[in-house]
Structure 1
Amino acid sequence: MNPILIFDLDGTLIDSAQDLHAAACRLLEGEGLSALPLETIRSFIGNGIPTLVDRIIDATGLQTRDRTRLISSFLEDYQAHATDLTAPYPDVEATLNHLLQSGHTLAICTNKPQRPAEKIIEDLGLSRYFQGLVGGDSLTERKPDPAGLHYLQSSLGGGPVVYVGDSEVDAETAVNAGMPFALFTEGYRKRPISEIPHAVSFSSFKDLPALAQNLLSAPA
């Protein structure tokens, strides 16, 4: 059984905050409202686009308007511009290639809807590294429910797993799944590193292969 590394997407493999912020600005402009700062939108990321839009609604007084319409409008616009400003974090592609060549199976578990997630990794040239992807709308449950991690582990051969993410939601998902968690510290976490459960943390993707190997070879 090949060892498996499952990655979160936003804030872990890719820095998508600027494109999400731009989509939020366009949504608010269309509703006749002023934009929210980038850091505000960054703080809203992590639980999927419906939750992101809910937080925008709460922050701007849009509660009287049709939530379903706002989510649909945001998603349609975002999908058209999802890689205008988005890019992988430094050394992501080289690290993925190294892991793949070293015999690891790679997958993604994200709360972003599956189709936009697939399009983003395709447009950024990353799709060839991954053998599976579970989005926020792929299963009946989404993170922090562990169903996505368990589904990917099972479908990819049942090997040992390390989950790699950047946020409190990712840490909770790994705990719920009973899997070791590698925390990327340069993403969208909202609390100090010391307050987020993790087996290892890293700020450079160059360090991930050695850290993952230690976790995968450790006794269960």
Structure 2
Amino acid sequence: METRPMAPVLLCDLDGTLVDTVADLTVALNRLLTERGLGTLPQRRVRGLVGRGAARLVESGLAEMGGAVGPDGLSACVARFLEIYEAAPAVHSRPYPGVIETLTSLRAAGWRLGVCTNKPQAPSEAILDAFELSPFFEAVGGGDRFPVRKPDGGHLHATLELIMGGDAKAARAVLVGDSRTDLDAARNARLPVVLVDYGYTDVPAAELGGDAVISSFAALPEALEGIVADGPSTLPRTIPPMQ
């Protein structure tokens, strides 16, 4: 009897890939800065600071405004930022065009889906719930769920284990993200990566060296076909590890 190949897995970054979250992040960061007697940052500047986790966002925001603090002070600022942000993480945020339709199509084609993000677990789940995206994903690997996070490849592997259990090491997986952090995580995990060029990055996605670059989430299925030779509709063969 012929053995049916294992279903492929798509791991999705959240901020800047699935959902445009920068407006709510900007509101929360600027409220923290204002409480500390500092000025505020324009949203376009905050865009370049997103993607490496809450602590790096807060640390960078404080430094931008001349309010750098020591480790203890930073911990307190991060806690306050998360308190502000988690109270309203999805007021101004919106899924990018084509996200819901594309996730629906990929699920129907046999892909298993997960989220792997440096955003903390609680606001990640809240945002997915708010936009009715949670049912698409079998697991959410937030930035505080495991001992490591992107760009450590272990973050991707741990999220795969949530989805596939003991079969994770044999997973045929691809990451879709928007930044160097995602690229480095995929390379460290020895997985292919599709980069979107509309997200949060200080280096254009086309210059980062991903396996494919797309300008719309709706273009993802075609990009996956280019990376995985058999295409998502036929459950692709094993993707060779990246060298």
Tell me the SS of whatever aligns to 1:143.
Answer: coil
C-alpha separation in 1, matches of 2:69 and 2:204? 35
**What root-mean-square deviation, in Å, do the aligned CA atoms of Structure 1 and Structure 2 show?**
1.5
Hey, which bits of structure 1, 4+ residues long, moved more than 3 A? none
- Once the two structures are superposed, the pairs formed by residues 179-194 of structure 1 within 5 Å of their partners are 179-194=191-206
- Of 62, 78, 83, which aligns to 1:76? 83
The match for 1:149 is 156
Task: Please state if 1:138 is matched with 2:138.
Answer: no
**Matches of 2:153 and 2:37, distance apart in 1:** 39
Corresponding residue SS for 1:217? coil
Give the corresponding residue for 1:124.
Answer: 131
Shift of 1:155: 3.7
Shift of 1:28: 1.5
Amino acid at match of 1:203: S
Q: Distance in 1 between matches of 2:214 and 2:48?
A: 20
Quick check: 1:16 aligned with 2:28? no
> Is 1:60 aligned with 2:65?
yes
- Aligned in 2, Cα 1:190/1:125: closer, same or farther, shift over 3 Å? same
In structure 2, the partner of 1:25 is: 30
| TM-score scaled by length of structure 2 | 0.86
Per the alignment, do residues 190 and 63 of structure 1 end up closer, same or farther by CA in structure 2, a change over 3 Å counting? closer
Cα displacement (A) at 1:167:
0.3
Q: Quick one: distance in 2 between partners of 1:148 and 1:58? A: 27
TM-score of the superposed pair, with normalisation by structure 1: 0.95
Measure, in 2, the Cα distance between the counterparts of 1:109 and 1:92: 16
Q: For residues 150-202 of structure 1, give each alpha carbon's deviation from its aligned partner in whole angstroms, at most 9, with x where no partner exists.
A: 12333433331110000010001111111111011100121133420211111
Task: Deviation per CA, 1:39-93: give whole Å up to 9, x if none.
Answer: 1111110100111000012112223572222111110110111101001000101
Between structure 1 and structure 2, the one with the greater Rg is 2
